[in-house]
Structure 1
Amino acid sequence: MMPIADRAGRAGRFLWSAWAGLAGLSVFAATWQLGHEAYGSFILPSPAETLASLAALLRDEANWALVGATAGRALLGFSVAAGIGTLVGVLAGYHPAVMRLTRPQVTLLLGVPPIAWIVLLMIWFGNGAGTVVATAAIACLPIVFIGAAEGVATRDRGLDDMARAAGVGPFTRLFRVALRQMLHALFPALVMALGTAFKAAVMAELLANAGGVGEALAVARANLDVAAALAWILLAVAALIGVEYGLLQPLRAEFETWREAARPWGVKR
Protein backbone atom coordinates (compact mmCIF):
# COMPACT_ATOMS: atom_id res chain seq x y z
CA MET A 1 0.00 0.00 0.00
CA MET A 2 2.87 2.39 0.72
CA PRO A 3 4.17 2.53 -2.91
CA ILE A 4 0.62 3.24 -4.11
CA ALA A 5 0.25 5.99 -1.51
CA ASP A 6 3.62 7.49 -2.51
CA ARG A 7 2.65 7.51 -6.19
CA ALA A 8 -0.72 9.03 -5.39
CA GLY A 9 0.98 11.74 -3.32
CA ARG A 10 3.41 12.56 -6.12
CA ALA A 11 0.57 12.66 -8.63
CA GLY A 12 -1.43 14.98 -6.37
CA ARG A 13 1.50 17.37 -5.91
CA PHE A 14 2.14 17.32 -9.66
CA LEU A 15 -1.48 18.16 -10.45
CA TRP A 16 -1.54 20.91 -7.84
CA SER A 17 1.61 22.47 -9.33
CA ALA A 18 -0.31 22.88 -12.61
CA TRP A 19 -1.75 26.15 -11.23
CA ALA A 20 1.59 27.83 -11.94
CA GLY A 21 1.46 26.60 -15.53
CA LEU A 22 -2.10 27.86 -15.95
CA ALA A 23 -1.04 31.26 -14.64
CA GLY A 24 1.76 31.40 -17.21
CA LEU A 25 -0.66 30.43 -19.98
CA SER A 26 -3.03 33.17 -18.83
CA VAL A 27 -0.26 35.75 -19.17
CA PHE A 28 0.52 34.40 -22.65
CA ALA A 29 -3.17 34.60 -23.64
CA ALA A 30 -3.37 38.19 -22.37
CA THR A 31 -0.32 39.16 -24.44
CA TRP A 32 -1.86 37.39 -27.42
CA GLN A 33 -5.07 39.38 -26.97
CA LEU A 34 -3.09 42.63 -26.87
CA GLY A 35 -1.42 41.70 -30.14
CA HIS A 36 -4.80 40.96 -31.69
CA GLU A 37 -6.19 44.33 -30.62
CA ALA A 38 -3.12 46.08 -32.03
CA TYR A 39 -2.95 44.31 -35.43
CA GLY A 40 -6.43 42.91 -36.08
CA SER A 41 -7.80 39.48 -36.91
CA PHE A 42 -6.18 39.18 -40.33
CA ILE A 43 -2.67 39.34 -38.84
CA LEU A 44 -3.32 37.77 -35.44
CA PRO A 45 -6.75 36.31 -34.62
CA SER A 46 -7.84 36.56 -31.01
CA PRO A 47 -7.55 33.58 -28.65
CA ALA A 48 -11.35 33.21 -28.76
CA GLU A 49 -11.35 33.04 -32.57
CA THR A 50 -8.52 30.51 -32.53
CA LEU A 51 -10.30 28.35 -29.96
CA ALA A 52 -13.46 28.44 -32.07
CA SER A 53 -11.44 27.28 -35.08
CA LEU A 54 -9.82 24.61 -32.89
CA ALA A 55 -13.24 23.34 -31.79
CA ALA A 56 -14.32 23.13 -35.42
CA LEU A 57 -11.22 21.08 -36.25
CA LEU A 58 -11.81 18.71 -33.35
CA ARG A 59 -15.33 17.96 -34.55
CA ASP A 60 -13.87 16.27 -37.66
CA GLU A 61 -12.50 12.80 -36.87
CA ALA A 62 -10.12 13.00 -39.83
CA ASN A 63 -8.23 15.79 -38.08
CA TRP A 64 -7.67 13.55 -35.07
CA ALA A 65 -6.02 11.07 -37.43
CA LEU A 66 -3.72 13.82 -38.75
CA VAL A 67 -2.61 14.76 -35.23
CA GLY A 68 -2.12 11.09 -34.37
CA ALA A 69 0.00 10.57 -37.49
CA THR A 70 2.26 13.49 -36.62
CA ALA A 71 2.56 12.41 -32.99
CA GLY A 72 3.33 8.83 -33.99
CA ARG A 73 6.07 9.87 -36.43
CA ALA A 74 7.61 12.26 -33.93
CA LEU A 75 7.52 9.62 -31.19
CA LEU A 76 9.09 7.00 -33.45
CA GLY A 77 11.92 9.34 -34.41
CA PHE A 78 12.34 10.37 -30.78
CA SER A 79 12.45 6.73 -29.64
CA VAL A 80 15.14 5.85 -32.18
CA ALA A 81 17.21 8.87 -31.17
CA ALA A 82 16.69 8.20 -27.45
CA GLY A 83 17.86 4.59 -27.78
CA ILE A 84 20.90 5.24 -29.95
CA GLY A 85 21.86 8.52 -28.29
CA THR A 86 21.65 7.10 -24.77
CA LEU A 87 23.68 4.00 -25.65
CA VAL A 88 26.42 5.91 -27.46
CA GLY A 89 26.38 8.65 -24.80
CA VAL A 90 26.93 6.12 -22.00
CA LEU A 91 29.84 4.59 -23.92
CA ALA A 92 31.32 8.03 -24.53
CA GLY A 93 30.92 8.97 -20.88
CA TYR A 94 32.85 5.90 -19.78
CA HIS A 95 35.51 6.02 -22.49
CA PRO A 96 37.21 9.37 -23.28
CA ALA A 97 38.46 8.00 -26.62
CA VAL A 98 34.87 7.40 -27.75
CA MET A 99 33.98 10.91 -26.58
CA ARG A 100 36.77 12.44 -28.65
CA LEU A 101 35.66 10.48 -31.73
CA THR A 102 31.96 11.23 -31.45
CA ARG A 103 32.03 14.86 -30.34
CA PRO A 104 33.02 16.26 -33.81
CA GLN A 105 30.23 14.20 -35.39
CA VAL A 106 27.72 15.53 -32.88
CA THR A 107 28.89 19.07 -33.61
CA LEU A 108 28.40 18.36 -37.31
CA LEU A 109 24.85 17.10 -36.73
CA LEU A 110 24.04 20.14 -34.61
CA GLY A 111 25.44 22.48 -37.24
CA VAL A 112 23.32 21.15 -40.10
CA PRO A 113 19.84 22.78 -40.00
CA PRO A 114 16.86 20.40 -40.01
CA ILE A 115 15.57 21.86 -43.29
CA ALA A 116 18.78 20.69 -45.00
CA TRP A 117 18.21 17.16 -43.72
CA ILE A 118 14.63 17.32 -44.99
CA VAL A 119 15.83 18.18 -48.50
CA LEU A 120 18.42 15.39 -48.50
CA LEU A 121 16.01 12.82 -47.07
CA MET A 122 13.36 13.78 -49.63
CA ILE A 123 15.90 13.08 -52.37
CA TRP A 124 16.99 9.80 -50.80
CA PHE A 125 13.70 8.36 -49.51
CA GLY A 126 10.93 10.36 -51.18
CA ASN A 127 8.04 12.22 -49.56
CA GLY A 128 6.74 9.48 -47.27
CA ALA A 129 6.58 9.02 -43.54
CA GLY A 130 10.16 7.70 -43.48
CA THR A 131 11.48 11.16 -44.27
CA VAL A 132 9.53 12.64 -41.35
CA VAL A 133 10.70 9.98 -38.89
CA ALA A 134 14.33 10.22 -40.01
CA THR A 135 14.28 14.02 -39.74
CA ALA A 136 12.93 13.85 -36.20
CA ALA A 137 15.50 11.23 -35.22
CA ILE A 138 18.46 13.14 -36.65
CA ALA A 139 17.32 16.37 -35.00
CA CYS A 140 17.00 14.65 -31.58
CA LEU A 141 20.10 12.46 -31.62
CA PRO A 142 22.76 15.04 -30.67
CA ILE A 143 20.67 16.40 -27.79
CA VAL A 144 20.17 12.96 -26.24
CA PHE A 145 23.81 12.03 -26.76
CA ILE A 146 25.06 15.16 -25.00
CA GLY A 147 22.73 14.64 -22.05
CA ALA A 148 23.72 10.99 -21.59
CA ALA A 149 27.44 11.57 -22.08
CA GLU A 150 27.63 14.53 -19.72
CA GLY A 151 25.53 12.73 -17.13
CA VAL A 152 27.89 9.75 -17.05
CA ALA A 153 31.08 11.80 -17.32
CA THR A 154 30.13 14.01 -14.36
CA ARG A 155 29.04 11.15 -12.08
CA ASP A 156 30.45 10.83 -8.58
CA ARG A 157 33.24 8.31 -9.05
CA GLY A 158 33.58 7.96 -5.31
CA LEU A 159 30.26 6.10 -5.27
CA ASP A 160 31.62 3.70 -7.89
CA ASP A 161 34.71 3.08 -5.77
CA MET A 162 32.59 2.51 -2.67
CA ALA A 163 30.34 0.04 -4.51
CA ARG A 164 33.38 -1.76 -5.92
CA ALA A 165 34.88 -2.04 -2.43
CA ALA A 166 31.59 -3.53 -1.23
CA GLY A 167 31.86 -6.27 -3.86
CA VAL A 168 29.18 -4.95 -6.23
CA GLY A 169 29.56 -6.26 -9.78
CA PRO A 170 30.15 -4.01 -12.81
CA PHE A 171 26.64 -4.34 -14.27
CA THR A 172 25.02 -3.64 -10.91
CA ARG A 173 27.24 -0.57 -10.49
CA LEU A 174 26.24 0.56 -13.97
CA PHE A 175 22.48 0.24 -13.47
CA ARG A 176 22.19 1.07 -9.78
CA VAL A 177 24.88 3.77 -9.38
CA ALA A 178 26.07 5.34 -12.64
CA LEU A 179 22.83 5.37 -14.64
CA ARG A 180 20.82 6.74 -11.72
CA GLN A 181 23.24 9.67 -11.53
CA MET A 182 23.01 10.12 -15.30
CA LEU A 183 19.25 10.71 -15.17
CA HIS A 184 19.57 14.24 -13.78
CA ALA A 185 21.14 15.28 -17.10
CA LEU A 186 19.39 12.80 -19.38
CA PHE A 187 15.76 13.64 -18.61
CA PRO A 188 16.06 17.39 -19.36
CA ALA A 189 17.78 16.41 -22.61
CA LEU A 190 14.94 13.98 -23.40
CA VAL A 191 12.34 16.68 -22.79
CA MET A 192 14.18 19.05 -25.13
CA ALA A 193 14.62 16.28 -27.70
CA LEU A 194 10.91 15.46 -27.61
CA GLY A 195 10.00 19.06 -28.40
CA THR A 196 12.59 19.09 -31.18
CA ALA A 197 11.13 15.87 -32.61
CA PHE A 198 7.64 17.38 -32.86
CA LYS A 199 8.96 20.58 -34.46
CA ALA A 200 11.08 18.67 -36.96
CA ALA A 201 8.20 16.31 -37.80
CA VAL A 202 5.78 19.16 -38.51
CA MET A 203 8.40 20.97 -40.60
CA ALA A 204 9.16 17.83 -42.61
CA GLU A 205 5.46 17.16 -43.22
CA LEU A 206 4.93 20.72 -44.40
CA LEU A 207 7.83 20.68 -46.86
CA ALA A 208 7.38 17.11 -48.05
CA ASN A 209 3.55 17.13 -48.23
CA ALA A 210 3.61 13.96 -46.14
CA GLY A 211 0.24 14.45 -44.43
CA GLY A 212 -0.22 15.15 -40.74
CA VAL A 213 -0.29 18.54 -39.08
CA GLY A 214 2.38 19.91 -41.41
CA GLU A 215 0.33 19.38 -44.54
CA ALA A 216 -2.73 20.87 -42.81
CA LEU A 217 -0.63 23.94 -42.01
CA ALA A 218 0.34 24.17 -45.67
CA VAL A 219 -3.36 24.16 -46.63
CA ALA A 220 -4.12 26.87 -44.06
CA ARG A 221 -1.24 28.95 -45.43
CA ALA A 222 -2.53 28.59 -49.00
CA ASN A 223 -5.98 29.71 -47.86
CA LEU A 224 -4.55 32.59 -45.76
CA ASP A 225 -6.50 31.16 -42.82
CA VAL A 226 -4.45 32.38 -39.88
CA ALA A 227 -6.96 31.16 -37.30
CA ALA A 228 -6.82 27.62 -38.69
CA ALA A 229 -3.02 27.74 -38.77
CA LEU A 230 -2.90 28.80 -35.13
CA ALA A 231 -5.44 26.10 -34.25
CA TRP A 232 -3.25 23.43 -35.86
CA ILE A 233 -0.25 24.76 -33.97
CA LEU A 234 -2.21 24.50 -30.73
CA LEU A 235 -3.12 20.90 -31.58
CA ALA A 236 0.53 20.01 -32.18
CA VAL A 237 1.58 21.67 -28.92
CA ALA A 238 -1.23 19.89 -27.06
CA ALA A 239 -0.02 16.54 -28.42
CA LEU A 240 3.52 17.37 -27.31
CA ILE A 241 2.38 18.36 -23.82
CA GLY A 242 0.27 15.22 -23.58
CA VAL A 243 3.24 12.98 -24.40
CA GLU A 244 5.64 14.85 -22.13
CA TYR A 245 3.42 14.94 -19.06
CA GLY A 246 1.75 11.62 -19.76
CA LEU A 247 4.95 9.66 -20.41
CA LEU A 248 8.25 11.39 -19.72
CA GLN A 249 7.44 13.20 -16.49
CA PRO A 250 5.84 10.13 -14.81
CA LEU A 251 8.90 8.08 -15.80
CA ARG A 252 11.15 10.75 -14.37
CA ALA A 253 9.21 10.80 -11.11
CA GLU A 254 9.39 7.00 -10.93
CA PHE A 255 13.15 6.83 -11.53
CA GLU A 256 14.03 9.79 -9.32
CA THR A 257 12.15 8.87 -6.17
CA TRP A 258 15.41 9.35 -4.28
CA ARG A 259 15.02 13.11 -4.76
CA GLU A 260 11.87 13.00 -2.62
CA ALA A 261 13.71 11.08 0.08
CA ALA A 262 16.64 13.51 0.00
CA ARG A 263 14.46 16.62 0.17
CA PRO A 264 13.97 18.01 3.72
CA TRP A 265 10.43 17.88 5.02
CA GLY A 266 8.40 20.94 4.14
CA VAL A 267 10.72 22.16 1.35
CA LYS A 268 8.74 22.95 -1.77
CA ARG A 269 9.82 22.76 -5.40
Structure 2
Amino acid sequence: MRRSLPARGVATLLGWGGSLTGVLLFVALWEWGSLAYGSFLLPGPRDALAALGRLWHEGAAAAIWATTWRAMLGFGLAALAGISLGLLAGLSRTVGRALEPVSTVLLGIPPIAWIVLAILWFGSGSLATVYTVMATTLPVTFAGAQMGAMTLDRRLQEMADVFQLPALMRLVDITLPHIVSYVFPALVTALGVAWKVAVMAELFATEDGIGAGLALARVNLDTAAAMAWIVLVVALLLATEHGLLRPLQRRMEPWRQSGRGGR
Protein backbone atom coordinates (compact mmCIF):
# COMPACT_ATOMS: atom_id res chain seq x y z
CA MET A 1 0.00 0.00 0.00
CA ARG A 2 2.87 2.37 0.79
CA ARG A 3 4.40 1.78 -2.62
CA SER A 4 1.20 2.81 -4.36
CA LEU A 5 1.11 6.26 -2.74
CA PRO A 6 4.12 7.71 -4.63
CA ALA A 7 2.70 6.35 -7.87
CA ARG A 8 -0.61 8.07 -7.17
CA GLY A 9 1.21 11.30 -6.32
CA VAL A 10 3.19 11.23 -9.54
CA ALA A 11 0.02 10.49 -11.54
CA THR A 12 -1.75 13.41 -9.86
CA LEU A 13 1.14 15.78 -10.55
CA LEU A 14 1.28 14.67 -14.17
CA GLY A 15 -2.46 15.22 -14.50
CA TRP A 16 -2.26 18.73 -13.04
CA GLY A 17 0.80 19.44 -15.19
CA GLY A 18 -1.06 18.42 -18.33
CA SER A 19 -4.05 20.57 -17.40
CA LEU A 20 -1.81 23.56 -16.64
CA THR A 21 -0.04 23.13 -19.98
CA GLY A 22 -3.37 23.18 -21.79
CA VAL A 23 -4.46 26.34 -19.93
CA LEU A 24 -1.18 28.12 -20.68
CA LEU A 25 -1.40 27.16 -24.35
CA PHE A 26 -4.95 28.53 -24.53
CA VAL A 27 -3.91 31.80 -22.86
CA ALA A 28 -0.97 32.14 -25.27
CA LEU A 29 -3.26 31.65 -28.29
CA TRP A 30 -5.73 34.11 -26.79
CA GLU A 31 -2.98 36.74 -26.39
CA TRP A 32 -1.77 36.11 -29.94
CA GLY A 33 -5.31 36.54 -31.28
CA SER A 34 -5.66 39.82 -29.37
CA LEU A 35 -2.43 41.14 -30.86
CA ALA A 36 -3.43 40.02 -34.34
CA TYR A 37 -7.02 41.33 -34.40
CA GLY A 38 -6.87 44.19 -31.93
CA SER A 39 -8.17 44.61 -28.40
CA PHE A 40 -11.56 45.89 -29.55
CA LEU A 41 -12.48 42.69 -31.42
CA LEU A 42 -10.65 40.33 -29.07
CA PRO A 43 -9.45 41.78 -25.76
CA GLY A 44 -6.44 40.00 -24.33
CA PRO A 45 -6.26 38.14 -21.01
CA ARG A 46 -5.00 41.23 -19.18
CA ASP A 47 -7.87 43.35 -20.53
CA ALA A 48 -10.38 40.69 -19.49
CA LEU A 49 -8.88 40.48 -15.99
CA ALA A 50 -8.97 44.27 -15.63
CA ALA A 51 -12.61 44.31 -16.71
CA LEU A 52 -13.32 41.45 -14.31
CA GLY A 53 -11.89 43.47 -11.43
CA ARG A 54 -14.05 46.43 -12.42
CA LEU A 55 -17.17 44.26 -12.64
CA TRP A 56 -16.43 42.75 -9.25
CA HIS A 57 -16.33 46.19 -7.63
CA GLU A 58 -19.61 47.00 -9.37
CA GLY A 59 -21.39 44.05 -7.76
CA ALA A 60 -20.68 41.05 -10.02
CA ALA A 61 -20.98 38.72 -7.01
CA ALA A 62 -24.77 39.09 -7.05
CA ALA A 63 -24.88 38.21 -10.75
CA ILE A 64 -22.68 35.17 -10.16
CA TRP A 65 -24.95 33.94 -7.36
CA ALA A 66 -28.09 34.46 -9.46
CA THR A 67 -26.72 32.46 -12.40
CA THR A 68 -25.28 29.77 -10.15
CA TRP A 69 -28.48 28.91 -8.30
CA ARG A 70 -30.55 28.96 -11.50
CA ALA A 71 -28.14 26.70 -13.37
CA MET A 72 -27.63 24.30 -10.47
CA LEU A 73 -31.33 24.10 -9.59
CA GLY A 74 -32.28 23.29 -13.17
CA PHE A 75 -29.40 20.83 -13.43
CA GLY A 76 -30.32 19.15 -10.14
CA LEU A 77 -33.97 18.73 -11.09
CA ALA A 78 -33.00 17.38 -14.51
CA ALA A 79 -30.50 14.94 -12.99
CA LEU A 80 -33.03 13.66 -10.47
CA ALA A 81 -35.83 13.19 -13.00
CA GLY A 82 -33.59 12.05 -15.85
CA ILE A 83 -31.73 9.40 -13.87
CA SER A 84 -34.95 8.05 -12.33
CA LEU A 85 -36.76 7.82 -15.66
CA GLY A 86 -33.65 6.52 -17.41
CA LEU A 87 -33.27 3.65 -14.95
CA LEU A 88 -36.92 2.72 -15.41
CA ALA A 89 -36.55 2.87 -19.19
CA GLY A 90 -33.39 0.74 -19.09
CA LEU A 91 -34.85 -1.92 -16.82
CA SER A 92 -38.24 -2.11 -18.55
CA ARG A 93 -38.52 -2.45 -22.32
CA THR A 94 -42.09 -1.22 -22.25
CA VAL A 95 -41.18 1.98 -20.40
CA GLY A 96 -38.13 2.40 -22.62
CA ARG A 97 -40.16 2.22 -25.82
CA ALA A 98 -42.61 4.75 -24.43
CA LEU A 99 -40.02 7.27 -23.23
CA GLU A 100 -37.33 7.06 -25.92
CA PRO A 101 -39.32 9.03 -28.54
CA VAL A 102 -40.10 11.71 -25.97
CA SER A 103 -36.41 11.99 -25.06
CA THR A 104 -35.45 12.23 -28.74
CA VAL A 105 -37.96 15.02 -29.32
CA LEU A 106 -36.77 16.94 -26.27
CA LEU A 107 -33.15 16.53 -27.31
CA GLY A 108 -33.91 17.80 -30.81
CA ILE A 109 -35.54 21.06 -29.70
CA PRO A 110 -32.89 23.85 -29.74
CA PRO A 111 -32.30 25.75 -26.49
CA ILE A 112 -33.41 29.05 -28.02
CA ALA A 113 -36.83 27.52 -28.73
CA TRP A 114 -37.12 26.40 -25.10
CA ILE A 115 -36.24 29.94 -24.00
CA VAL A 116 -39.00 31.46 -26.14
CA LEU A 117 -41.54 28.92 -24.89
CA ALA A 118 -40.48 29.41 -21.28
CA ILE A 119 -40.90 33.19 -21.55
CA LEU A 120 -44.35 32.72 -23.08
CA TRP A 121 -45.38 30.22 -20.41
CA PHE A 122 -43.77 31.67 -17.28
CA GLY A 123 -42.90 35.23 -18.21
CA SER A 124 -39.53 36.88 -17.72
CA GLY A 125 -37.69 35.84 -14.59
CA SER A 126 -35.84 33.05 -12.85
CA LEU A 127 -38.49 30.39 -13.46
CA ALA A 128 -38.05 30.66 -17.22
CA THR A 129 -34.28 30.13 -16.86
CA VAL A 130 -34.60 27.19 -14.48
CA TYR A 131 -37.18 25.51 -16.70
CA THR A 132 -35.05 25.98 -19.81
CA VAL A 133 -32.00 24.46 -18.11
CA MET A 134 -34.06 21.51 -16.91
CA ALA A 135 -35.68 20.90 -20.31
CA THR A 136 -32.37 20.93 -22.18
CA THR A 137 -30.34 18.79 -19.75
CA LEU A 138 -32.95 16.18 -18.80
CA PRO A 139 -32.60 14.15 -22.05
CA VAL A 140 -28.83 13.92 -21.53
CA THR A 141 -29.10 12.48 -18.03
CA PHE A 142 -31.95 10.24 -19.15
CA ALA A 143 -29.84 8.75 -21.95
CA GLY A 144 -26.88 8.05 -19.66
CA ALA A 145 -28.97 6.32 -17.00
CA GLN A 146 -30.92 4.32 -19.58
CA MET A 147 -27.77 3.06 -21.28
CA GLY A 148 -26.26 2.10 -17.93
CA ALA A 149 -29.34 0.10 -16.94
CA MET A 150 -29.69 -1.54 -20.38
CA THR A 151 -26.09 -2.78 -20.48
CA LEU A 152 -26.02 -4.50 -17.10
CA ASP A 153 -24.09 -7.75 -17.42
CA ARG A 154 -26.62 -10.56 -17.10
CA ARG A 155 -23.86 -13.07 -16.41
CA LEU A 156 -22.84 -11.18 -13.29
CA GLN A 157 -26.47 -11.15 -12.21
CA GLU A 158 -26.67 -14.91 -12.73
CA MET A 159 -23.44 -15.42 -10.79
CA ALA A 160 -24.88 -13.34 -7.93
CA ASP A 161 -27.95 -15.58 -7.98
CA VAL A 162 -25.81 -18.71 -7.86
CA PHE A 163 -23.79 -17.48 -4.89
CA GLN A 164 -26.92 -16.03 -3.27
CA LEU A 165 -25.42 -12.61 -2.67
CA PRO A 166 -27.43 -10.33 -0.38
CA ALA A 167 -29.45 -7.67 -2.17
CA LEU A 168 -27.42 -4.81 -0.68
CA MET A 169 -24.10 -6.35 -1.71
CA ARG A 170 -25.43 -7.02 -5.20
CA LEU A 171 -26.55 -3.39 -5.50
CA VAL A 172 -23.33 -1.86 -4.18
CA ASP A 173 -20.78 -4.18 -5.81
CA ILE A 174 -22.41 -5.06 -9.13
CA THR A 175 -25.27 -2.81 -10.18
CA LEU A 176 -24.22 0.66 -9.01
CA PRO A 177 -20.61 0.63 -10.31
CA HIS A 178 -21.81 -0.24 -13.79
CA ILE A 179 -24.61 2.34 -13.88
CA VAL A 180 -22.41 5.05 -12.37
CA SER A 181 -19.82 4.56 -15.14
CA TYR A 182 -22.49 5.68 -17.62
CA VAL A 183 -24.26 8.28 -15.49
CA PHE A 184 -21.27 10.46 -14.55
CA PRO A 185 -20.13 11.23 -18.12
CA ALA A 186 -23.73 12.20 -18.87
CA LEU A 187 -23.81 14.43 -15.78
CA VAL A 188 -20.57 16.18 -16.79
CA THR A 189 -22.02 16.86 -20.26
CA ALA A 190 -25.32 18.04 -18.79
CA LEU A 191 -23.49 20.35 -16.39
CA GLY A 192 -21.72 22.11 -19.26
CA VAL A 193 -25.02 22.46 -21.10
CA ALA A 194 -26.69 23.81 -17.95
CA TRP A 195 -24.26 26.70 -17.57
CA LYS A 196 -24.43 27.67 -21.26
CA VAL A 197 -28.20 27.51 -21.40
CA ALA A 198 -28.61 29.40 -18.12
CA VAL A 199 -26.55 32.31 -19.41
CA MET A 200 -28.39 32.25 -22.75
CA ALA A 201 -31.77 32.27 -21.03
CA GLU A 202 -30.74 35.14 -18.74
CA LEU A 203 -29.74 37.12 -21.82
CA PHE A 204 -33.41 37.19 -22.86
CA ALA A 205 -35.46 36.48 -19.76
CA THR A 206 -33.92 38.20 -16.72
CA GLU A 207 -32.56 41.55 -15.62
CA ASP A 208 -29.80 40.10 -13.45
CA GLY A 209 -27.22 37.35 -13.69
CA ILE A 210 -24.26 36.80 -15.98
CA GLY A 211 -26.49 36.70 -19.07
CA ALA A 212 -27.89 40.13 -18.24
CA GLY A 213 -24.32 41.36 -17.78
CA LEU A 214 -23.45 40.09 -21.24
CA ALA A 215 -26.49 41.86 -22.67
CA LEU A 216 -25.36 45.13 -21.05
CA ALA A 217 -21.83 44.66 -22.39
CA ARG A 218 -23.29 44.16 -25.88
CA VAL A 219 -25.31 47.38 -25.65
CA ASN A 220 -22.27 49.33 -24.44
CA LEU A 221 -19.95 47.67 -27.04
CA ASP A 222 -17.73 46.68 -24.09
CA THR A 223 -15.92 43.66 -25.50
CA ALA A 224 -13.57 43.44 -22.51
CA ALA A 225 -16.53 43.13 -20.12
CA ALA A 226 -18.08 40.47 -22.36
CA MET A 227 -14.85 38.46 -22.26
CA ALA A 228 -14.71 38.91 -18.47
CA TRP A 229 -18.22 37.44 -18.10
CA ILE A 230 -17.23 34.53 -20.35
CA VAL A 231 -14.16 33.86 -18.20
CA LEU A 232 -16.42 33.85 -15.15
CA VAL A 233 -18.78 31.28 -16.72
CA VAL A 234 -15.88 28.98 -17.61
CA ALA A 235 -14.42 29.33 -14.11
CA LEU A 236 -17.78 28.48 -12.51
CA LEU A 237 -18.19 25.46 -14.78
CA LEU A 238 -14.73 24.14 -13.89
CA ALA A 239 -15.32 24.82 -10.19
CA THR A 240 -18.59 22.89 -10.09
CA GLU A 241 -17.24 20.02 -12.19
CA HIS A 242 -13.96 19.52 -10.32
CA GLY A 243 -15.26 20.65 -6.95
CA LEU A 244 -18.52 18.69 -6.96
CA LEU A 245 -18.90 16.02 -9.65
CA ARG A 246 -15.33 14.76 -9.87
CA PRO A 247 -14.87 14.23 -6.09
CA LEU A 248 -18.25 12.47 -6.00
CA GLN A 249 -17.20 10.29 -8.91
CA ARG A 250 -13.92 9.37 -7.20
CA ARG A 251 -15.83 8.42 -4.06
CA MET A 252 -18.32 6.26 -5.98
CA GLU A 253 -15.73 4.74 -8.35
CA PRO A 254 -12.67 3.97 -6.20
CA TRP A 255 -11.79 1.02 -8.44
CA ARG A 256 -11.26 3.37 -11.40
CA GLN A 257 -8.87 5.56 -9.43
CA SER A 258 -6.89 2.61 -8.09
CA GLY A 259 -6.58 1.31 -11.62
CA ARG A 260 -5.08 4.59 -12.75
CA GLY A 261 -2.69 4.69 -9.83
CA GLY A 262 -1.40 1.24 -10.61
CA ARG A 263 -0.29 2.35 -14.03
TM-score (norm 1): 0.90
> Conserved in 2, the CA contact under 8 Å of 1:90 and 1:149?
yes
Change (3 A) 1:127 1:10: farther
1:151-230 correspondence runs (5 A): 151-170=148-167, 173-230=170-227
Find the counterpart in structure 2 of residue 17 from structure 1.
15
- Asked if 1:255 corresponds to 2:256, the answer is no
Find the counterpart in structure 2 of residue 138 from structure 1.
135
Write the distance in 2 (CA, Å) between the matches of 1:119 and 1:264: 48
Write the distance in 1 (CA, Å) between the matches of 2:128 and 2:9: 37
Shift of 1:12: 8.6
Write the distance in 2 (CA, Å) between the matches of 1:81 and 1:63: 27
> Conserved in 2, the CA contact under 8 Å of 1:129 and 1:210?
no
- Asked if 1:76 corresponds to 2:73, the answer is yes
Write the distance in 1 (CA, Å) between the matches of 2:14 and 2:179: 28
Write the distance in 2 (CA, Å) between the matches of 1:73 and 1:156: 38
Cα RMSD between the aligned structures?
2.2
Change (3 A) 1:16 1:54: farther
> Alpha-carbon deviations, 1:82-122, whole Å to 9, x = none?
00111111111111221111111111001100111111111
SS at match of 1:17: helix
SS at match of 1:66: helix
Shift of 1:209: 2.7
**Residue of 63, 87, 92 corresponding to 2:89:** 92
The alignment-based identity, stated in percent, is 45
> Conserved in 1, the CA contact under 8 Å of 2:71 and 2:195?
yes
Write the distance in 2 (CA, Å) between the matches of 1:261 and 1:34: 40
Find the counterpart in structure 2 of residue 232 from structure 1.
229
Shift of 1:155: 2.0
Find the counterpart in structure 2 of residue 32 from structure 1.
30
Find the counterpart in structure 2 of residue 50 from structure 1.
48
SS at match of 1:245: helix
Shift of 1:174: 3.8
> Alpha-carbon deviations, 1:190-209, whole Å to 9, x = none?
00000100111000000113
Change (3 A) 1:11 1:215: farther
Write the distance in 1 (CA, Å) between the matches of 2:261 and 2:195: 37
Write the distance in 2 (CA, Å) between the matches of 1:263 and 1:51: 36
Structure 2 unaligned residues grouped into runs of 5+: none
Moved more, 225-234 or 208-217: 208-217
Moved more, 201-210 or 242-251: 201-210
Match for 1:55: what amino acid?
A: G
Instruction: State the aligned residue count.
Output: 261
Write the distance in 1 (CA, Å) between the matches of 2:244 and 2:117: 32
1:108-147 correspondence runs (5 A): 108-147=105-144
SS at match of 2:152: coil
Write the distance in 1 (CA, Å) between the matches of 2:125 and 2:172: 38
